[in-house]
Amino acid sequence: MMDVIRQWFQRHFSDPQVVILATLLLTGFLAVIFAGQYLAPVMASIVIAYLLEGVIKPMQHWGIPRLLAVLFTFTIFFVVLLAILFGLFPVLTRQATQFLGEVPEMLTEGQRLILTLPERYPALFSETQMEEFVGQIRSEAARFSEDMLRQTISSVVGVITFTVYIILMPLLVFFFLKDKEAILAWARSYMPRERGLATRVWQEVDAQLGNFIRGKFWEILIVWVVSYATFLFMGLNFAMLLGFLVGISVLIPYIGAAVMTFPVAMVAYFQFGWSAELAWILVAYGIIQMLDGNVLVPILFSEVINLHPIAIIVAVLFFGGIWGFWGVFFAIPLAILIQAILRAWPRKGDEEATASEGA
């Protein structure tokens, strides 16, 4: 057994290029694991810088100096950020507060509805099963109330942290854009010279990750606006909040759309009951998700490496289990990184082909 392991290790790690790539990857993962919570503003700023780079590069191709392009793009970004903070954020906060205030009434009505199921469908549901289910709902509701109380108590710290992030992140974004080449040159100066494999992986990830982030931004924005307009037109309560959540849910392919079905259906049911309005809202939500998956995603992500749905779901479950929300958020970029590594990793067949060509 040890001989097999030693032969495998020698076959895959005898190349110095592979050792350098593995060392860089290990260093990066250790930094995220042990310092990820402290570097969250930096990582978020890098994501935003990637997004804005898609605006700056075309401007440079048009002959506009990079500094001028950076200043113009950053000014637009800062104006949009202020509009979100002082225009959109208060609306979302108000609707979220109203929604949470109505949750106890919704739970009470839901319990009453569940307890009537044994009378309507005695062959499918028993009173004991429904009472146990209602008991679980009550315990979860009590736990949810306790969590909300703790969040309220710690909200002062959260506000202070949020304020610091709002100040730091725009500065980080600006300097990441303005001094991009200097930062990359500084990072390269500390890396080994013989890093061809790592450079190849980085170039592929850089291109694909930039396309992915920009594509996701436009997907979130389009799905959000369309969902909000649809819910508002159909008279659904909390239209802005639900539209925002539906837009954000596209960050988690397949799973996000399924999860968001419940709050949309719950709000529609408690507003309209068993009616045609409820059915039309669910149909509209289904059409939005269908158009997103079959029309919008192929258009926006035509240049991004295709990942199989199984790979996406496994990445979401795996990285989400390790790093929670941030693991879910970065699941697809990490999957793109892993795929780039697998594509660039030397294989036995490649080595034999190279040797035969040399001969």
Write out the DSSP string of 46-91: HHHHHHHHHHHHHHHHTT--HHHHHHHHHHHHHHHHHHIIIIIHHH
Contact predicate 268/282, CB 8 Å: yes
On average, the pLDDT of the chain sits at 77
pLDDT, position 357: 45
Q: Assess whether pLDDT exceeds 60 at residue 348.
A: no
Using alpha carbons, list the distances in angstroms from residue 204 to 249, 288, 304: 26, 32, 10
pLDDT, position 354: 45
Q: Assess whether pLDDT exceeds 70 at residue 358.
A: no
Can you tell me the mean pLDDT for 120-130? 72
pLDDT, position 300: 74
Q: CA nearest 234: which of 291, 288, 277?
A: 277
Higher-confidence residue of 2 and 280: namely 280
Query: Could you tell me the two tokens for 265?
Result: 């259906």
pLDDT, position 74: 92
Cα(187)–Cα(62) distance, integer angstroms: 29
Most confident listed range (81-90, 195-204, 207-216): 81-90
pLDDT in tens, 220-249: 899 999 999 999 999 999 999 999 999 988
153 — pLDDT class (breaks 50, 70, 90): very low
Contact predicate 4/332, CB 8 Å: no
231: helix, coil or strand?
Answer: helix
72 — pLDDT class (breaks 50, 70, 90): very high
Alpha helices in the chain (DSSP H): 2-13, 16-35, 40-61, 66-83, 89-115, 117-120, 127-153, 155-178, 180-189, 196-233, 239-249, 255-272, 276-291, 297-300, 309-329, 331-344, 348-358
Q: Assess whether pLDDT exceeds 90 at residue 281.
A: yes
Which residue bears the tokens 């291109």? Answer: 207
Start-to-end CA distance of the chain, whole Å, equals 34
pLDDT, position 302: 60
Q: What share of the chain in percent tops pLDDT 90?
A: 13
Contact predicate 50/213, CB 8 Å: yes
Higher-confidence residue of 253 and 68: namely 68
Most confident listed range (41-50, 223-232, 296-305): 223-232
Q: Assess whether pLDDT exceeds 60 at residue 303.
A: no
pLDDT, position 112: 75
Cα(12)–Cα(8) distance, integer angstroms: 6
pLDDT, position 240: 92
State whether the Cα torsion 332-338-342-344 is positive or negative.
positive
Can you tell me the mean pLDDT for 341-347? 70
pLDDT, position 86: 86
pTM over cut 0.95: no
Q: Assess whether pLDDT exceeds 90 at residue 131.
A: no
111 — pLDDT class (breaks 50, 70, 90): confident
Most confident listed range (91-95, 113-117, 212-216): 91-95
Provide the 10 A C-beta neighbour count for residue 57. 13
Can you tell me the mean pLDDT for 245-267? 84
Buried b (16+ CB within 10 A) or exposed e, 252-286: bbebbbeebbebbeebbbbbbeeeebbeebeebbe
Q: What share of the chain in percent tops pLDDT 70?
A: 75
Higher-confidence residue of 102 and 86: namely 86
